[in-house]
Amino acid sequence: MSTATREKMTMAQALNRALRNAMTADPSVVVFGEDVGPLGGVFRITDGLSAEFGEQRCFDTPLAESGIVGMAVGMAMNGMRPVVEMQFDAFAYPAFEQVVSHVAKLRNRTRGAVTVPMVIRVPYGGGIGGVEHHCDSSEAYYAHTPGLHVLAPASAADAYGLLRAAIASPDPVVFLEPKRLYWAKEDVDLSDEVPGIGRAAVIREGTDATLIAYGPSVPVALDAAEIAAQEGRSLQVVDVRSIVPFDDDTVCAAVRSTGRAVVVAEAPGFASVASEIVARVTERCFHSLAAPVRRVTGFDIPYPPPKLEHLQLPGVDRILDTVDDLQWEDS
């Protein structure tokens, strides 16, 4: 692999590159939403696209999320590959009926005759000091809806690779972009193959317990593993990457190898993706487990104001306290 193509870039830049390269590769790819045109999106993910590809390929829409997603359904029915931006997690809710009743179901309703390949990009999650309605972790709503793929990258390389895969996918994808990771710089080679949709990845080897995380919680889990290592405990970290389809094989193999697991996610824990992962791991790995599978999640409260959000977000200490609680004395 050539090192000449490695470059420093943020996740935001990687996503922008993915959109640009997808639009170059496939003339049916169109990008639209609120402020995605000349402004380049409030997070600048679509920066420069309308100038480069013209207003027919990247355009601003009226401020109406149901309209954006509903129009995308029709455009997908008629041969386009829409990539739409919901400006913030909680601003995607007006589109919920279109997502659940049409985006997710059209293939099924028509037994495959009508498909609506599209990507719904959702900047999501907290940790940026955002005011209310700007910090929700809404993944459970989408993950609970059959017919949608739900992806959550945690690195610039995955952001690029998964967004390209999402745009190429014959199925609709809800693409959750962890806002607080947008600006983290990484060394990336965009020509690197990353695991595709439906694949989790072990991103840190470890032998004592497995931390399972996705999106914004992945760097937190890695930090926790680093500190645990200094304290003499070896934690493995699995990045889920693809919430739907879920990679049972990789996750369960990882948990079986350590016998202990903690799932980390910032969404409220009740009826959450984290709960689903715990259930799946417990059902499949019961005889390999030395302790109950635990969760470190957000509390079951509306997302708090900025001055209190540090208490809501799973942090290194809460993760390590939970790891300490994994019945080590019994083994």
Binding site residues, another protein, CB under 8 A: 30, 56, 61-62, 64, 66-67, 69-80, 94, 97-98, 101-102, 105-115, 146-147, 149, 169-171, 198, 244-246, 248-249
Nearer to another protein, 148 or 157 (CB): 148
| Residue 187, strand partner residues | 8
Element (H, E) at 168: helix 156-168
Say which residue the tokens 């013209």 belong to: 54
Nearer to another protein, 96 or 328 (CB): 96
Element (H, E) at 139: helix 139-143
- Cβ of residue 148: shortest distance to another protein, in angstroms? 9
Residues with a known catalytic role: 134
3-class DSSP assignment, residue 297: strand
- Cβ of residue 63: shortest distance to another protein, in angstroms? 10
Pairwise CA distance, residues 71 & 82, whole Å: 9
3-class DSSP assignment, residue 282: helix
Nearer to another protein, 80 or 218 (CB): 80
- Cβ of residue 245: shortest distance to another protein, in angstroms? 4
Pairwise CA distance, residues 176 & 215, whole Å: 8
Residues 20, 65 contacting (CB under 8 angstroms): no
- Cβ of residue 311: shortest distance to another protein, in angstroms? 35
DSSP 290: S
Nearer to another protein, 250 or 312 (CB): 250
